[in-house]
Amino acid sequence: EKGGYATFMEKEINDQPHAVADTLLGRTDSEGRLALDELHISEDELRAVTKIVIVACGTAAYAGMVAKYAIEHWTRIPVEVELAHEFRYRDPVIDEHTLVVSISQSGETMDTLMAVRHAKELGARTVSICNTHGSTIPRESDAVLYTHAGPEIAVASTKAFLAQITASYILGLYLASLRGTAYGEDAAQVMAELATVPGKIEELLTRMDRVKEIAYYMADSRSVLFLGRHVGYPVAMEGALKLKELAYIHAEGFAAGELKHGPIALIEPGQPVFVIVPSPGVEHGLHDKVVSNIQEIRARGARTLVIAEEGDEDVVPFADEVIRVPHTSPLLAPLLTVVPLQVFALHLSTAKGLDVDQPRNLAKSVTVE
């Protein structure tokens, strides 16, 4: 049942090309237009949406943070992302024109379920992005967009994360085309580019040997930092979460722009820092800004483990290790850049002799508060 792999997590990491491909399947009609029939909210209601609030926990919340960048860009609808357990005990500004999108692999996370109920009481329309057919959250939501990652057994979420990003992008493109924004017209093009991602993940997975070696020689690390910017910022936090959960190592993800506002004080000689570099094609010169950050922390002795696109030579002079990912447009990059971080946490956990699939103190679905 582990398909020849030593652990479910390893199998699930290797399932990721299918998780993305299957989540894309059947979402476009013969002319390449998006067709979402599981969405039982009228087009008029969707056109009237003035705000989107994404509620989720843990890895699913990081998928939501990635989605915010894309959905705002494509739809011009303001998107907030909130941890479900914070949302449910607040007095959030929600009305019938708010679309509350929950993201949950299990569909049974109590905090997320209660946030959805809270949103409904306040009059919002609710959409569930979920991996488990017939689970509670989709049953209680007005509409559901299933991710097709297949069952996720390992406690630490991997393939569900990629499927969640994919599904929320489909939702964003659908809303953009309904509202006739400029990006709505590009929806087919983005969908076509998304369709190339599974092949790129496949290719990336064939060259993870060096990441495994790095994990083994870093098995004694006491703290690892992760820096990212733009959509790479939630990826940094997800990389840190994987390492905490699986290897019980202190880890933190930061927005690279925050460095000089505090975290740079943590940099001392030998401190390992993963940096997720935006693709050179990203707007506003963000790529060069992150390259400068690598230079700054390296000058203070950090060991820099740099995740950068193929052909990006700017990072080379400041990197102790360069982990290459295939080229994609900037918004799709998280579907690739997170993979080496998952593989790193998996091997570091293995190197420490820990239980990869069942980390201590954790349950696969958190059905209590």
Q: What are the residue numbers of the active site?
A: 364
99: helix, coil or strand?
Answer: strand
279 binds ligand F6R (CB under 6 A): no
In the bound state with ligand F6R, the residue whose beta carbon lies nearer, of 227 and 241, is: 241
Q: Which stretch, 19-27, 93-101, 106-114, 274-282, contacts ligand F6R (CB under 6 A)? A: 106-114
Least Å distance, CB 248 to ligand F6R, is 14
135 binds ligand F6R (CB under 6 A): no
325 binds ligand F6R (CB under 6 A): no
Least Å distance, CB 103 to ligand F6R, is 7
Tokens at residue 22, please?
């299957």
In the bound state with ligand F6R, the residue whose beta carbon lies nearer, of 126 and 157, is: 157
Burial 61-85 (b: 16+ CB within 10 A, else e): bbbbbbbbbbbebbbebebbbbbbb
Decide: 338 and 234 in contact? Cβ < 8 Å: no
Give the contacts of 211 (CB within 8 A, at least 6 positions apart): 323, 340, 343, 344, 347
Among 36, 57, 170, 323, interactor with ligand F6R by CB under 6 A: 57
In the bound state with ligand F6R, the residue whose beta carbon lies nearer, of 153 and 205, is: 153
Q: Which stretch, 51-59, 221-229, 311-319, 340-348, contacts ligand F6R (CB under 6 A)? A: 51-59
Site size toward ligand F6R, by CB under 6 A:
15
| Euclidean distance between CA atoms 319 and 165, whole angstroms | 29
58 binds ligand F6R (CB under 6 A): yes
Among 14, 59, 141, 337, interactor with ligand F6R by CB under 6 A: 59
Tokens at residue 89, please?
């005990």
| Euclidean distance between CA atoms 239 and 337, whole angstroms | 10
Give the contacts of 64 (CB within 8 A, at least 6 positions apart): 54, 55, 56, 81, 101, 103, 164, 168
Q: Is 41 exposed, middle or buried (0-12, 13-18, 19+ CB in 10 A)?
A: middle
Least Å distance, CB 109 to ligand F6R, is 3
* Residue nearest to ligand F6R as judged by C-beta position: 58
104 binds ligand F6R (CB under 6 A): yes
C-alpha to C-alpha distances, 179 to 50, 175, 205, nearest whole angstrom: 11, 6, 37
156 binds ligand F6R (CB under 6 A): yes
In the bound state with ligand F6R, the residue whose beta carbon lies nearer, of 89 and 217, is: 89
Least Å distance, CB 224 to ligand F6R, is 16
Among 16, 23, 136, 157, interactor with ligand F6R by CB under 6 A: 157
What H or E segment, with its residue span, contains residue 310?
A: none
Tokens at residue 42, please?
């009228």
Least Å distance, CB 157 to ligand F6R, is 4
Least Å distance, CB 129 to ligand F6R, is 9
Tokens at residue 1, please?
């049942």
Q: Which of 51, 18, 322 is nearest to 147 (CA)?
A: 18
In the bound state with ligand F6R, the residue whose beta carbon lies nearer, of 251 and 290, is: 251
Least Å distance, CB 10 to ligand F6R, is 15
- Residues at the contact surface with ligand F6R, assessed by CB under 6 A: 57-60, 104-106, 109, 112, 156-157, 241, 245, 365-366
